[in-house]
Amino acid sequence: MKQGYHTRTEIFSQTEAWTNALDVVESHRQPLVSLFQQEFFQVLFVGCGSTYYLSLSAAALFQDLTARFSRATPAGELWMNPQFATLNGSLRQKTLLVAISRSGSTTETMRAVEAFKALEGGSVLAITNYPGQPLVEMADLSLVIEKGQELSVAQTRSFASIYVAITALALLAGGRYAELNQLRRLPEVGEQLLQKYDSLARQWGEDLSIDRIYFLGSGIRYGLACEANLKMKEMSLTHTEPFHFLEFRHGPKSMVTDTTAVVGLLSDSNRAHEQRVLEEVEALGAKALSLAEANASVNFASGLPEPLRGVLYLPVLQAMAYFRALAKGLHPDQPINLTSVVVLD
């Protein structure tokens, strides 16, 4: 089997999993509406690695679209330091815990849910790609997106499928039903992106003159920048780091050389500020790649409102990491030192 076969298949077939995600949310609309009608003091998203980064973006999106206090923490932190997420060790007010896990069996995530339930903190919503795993058994309500299952260690279509589900959830919880229907355009737009920018992703991935890559994103895009950073690390063993856009000037900028690439996940609302950072790093000799709805290196041209477009930043960056891994003679299906599920005894 060709090197990286599973990773390539999973990246380039992912829009089927996006559609599955939308179908799963739709089929659970009633119990989800009832859940969101409950008065929660906060919505807490937890996950590990990729799914923690997903939680970061999900919390920003949820707060933006529902005006409910939302935040994210690594599952391991909720397990080891529950005081981070609770007030004086007991959840004074109800919390909705959203536990995100591709496998549904990562030990830290299970322990975090157990710790939360021991505090009688509220309700647990699980979002996963595998049925019948411990997480589904522990949750009050589970969304299982089976088309997001994958054989590769590094998450690609699994991550994107859960991200689409969360975008739909946030719109549902926020009562934004017209925009919820617009999400049905995402798979078609994603398919166009994968076809149109396959060669750009390969070109950037095969540029081995680049020896470090910084991913910049703000708001809902920071968690996505973290995930793109992790993909590039896991698949291609490249030194990468994510930053909020304006933070890059406060020190990390000192690392920019002519062998540096800076990838900007541009927003609409703060485009001018973000673009200036990219212009500054280019003036220092770095190569800059921008992704946005329009006027960028990668243009989504979706016609969708900004909060609906988060998933569109992922496919080209996943493909770039895949091509860089192959160019370095690595095995993206099975990154060294990693397993697809972290199980602690």
Q: In the complex, what is the shortest distance from the CB of residue 335 to ligand F1P, in angstroms, rounded to a whole number?
A: 9
Stretch that binds ligand F1P, among 21-29, 48-56, 57-65, 164-172 (CB under 6 A): 48-56
User: Which of 20/290 has CB closer to ligand F1P?
Assistant: 20
Among residues 257, 148, 175, which one has the least CA distance to residue 211?
257
Stretch that binds ligand F1P, among 110-118, 214-222, 323-331, 334-342 (CB under 6 A): 334-342
Q: In the complex, what is the shortest distance from the CB of residue 52 to ligand F1P, in angstroms, rounded to a whole number?
A: 7
Q: In the complex, what is the shortest distance from the CB of residue 105 to ligand F1P, in angstroms, rounded to a whole number?
A: 7
The DSSP call for residue 93 is S
Among residues 193, 213, 185, 190, which one has the least CA distance to residue 288?
213
Is residue 155 a contact point for ligand F1P (CB under 6 A)? yes
Is residue 102 a contact point for ligand F1P (CB under 6 A)? yes
Q: CB-based burial of residue 128 (10 Å sphere; 0-12 exposed, 13-18 middle, 19+ buried)?
A: buried
The amino acid at residue 153 is: V
The amino acid at residue 47 is: G
Contact 332, 154 (CB under 8 A): yes
Q: In the complex, what is the shortest distance from the CB of residue 102 to ligand F1P, in angstroms, rounded to a whole number?
A: 4
For residues 191 and 195, what is the distance between their CA atoms, to the nearest angstrom? 6
Stretch that binds ligand F1P, among 115-123, 283-291, 315-323, 336-344 (CB under 6 A): 336-344
User: Which of 230/292 has CB closer to ligand F1P?
Assistant: 230
For residues 25 and 332, what is the distance between their CA atoms, to the nearest angstrom? 31
Contact 160, 18 (CB under 8 A): yes
Give the number of other Cβ atoms within 10 Å of residue 132's Cβ. Answer: 9
Is residue 156 a contact point for ligand F1P (CB under 6 A)? no
The amino acid at residue 31 is: P
Q: Interface mask (CB under 6 A) for ligand F1P, residues 107-126, using x and -?
A: --x-----------------
Stretch that binds ligand F1P, among 23-31, 56-64, 147-155, 286-294 (CB under 6 A): 147-155
Q: In the complex, what is the shortest distance from the CB of residue 21 to ligand F1P, in angstroms, rounded to a whole number?
A: 15
Is residue 101 a contact point for ligand F1P (CB under 6 A)? yes
Contact 204, 320 (CB under 8 A): yes
Is residue 260 a contact point for ligand F1P (CB under 6 A)? no
User: Please, what is the Cα angle at 191 between 188 and 195, to 5 degrees?
Assistant: 140
Contact 19, 168 (CB under 8 A): no
Stretch that binds ligand F1P, among 22-30, 37-45, 49-57, 290-298 (CB under 6 A): 49-57
Is residue 51 a contact point for ligand F1P (CB under 6 A)? yes
Torsions phi, psi for 335 (to 5 deg): -60, 145
**What is the contact surface with ligand F1P in residues (CB under 6 A)?**
48-51, 101-103, 106, 109, 153-155, 230, 340-342
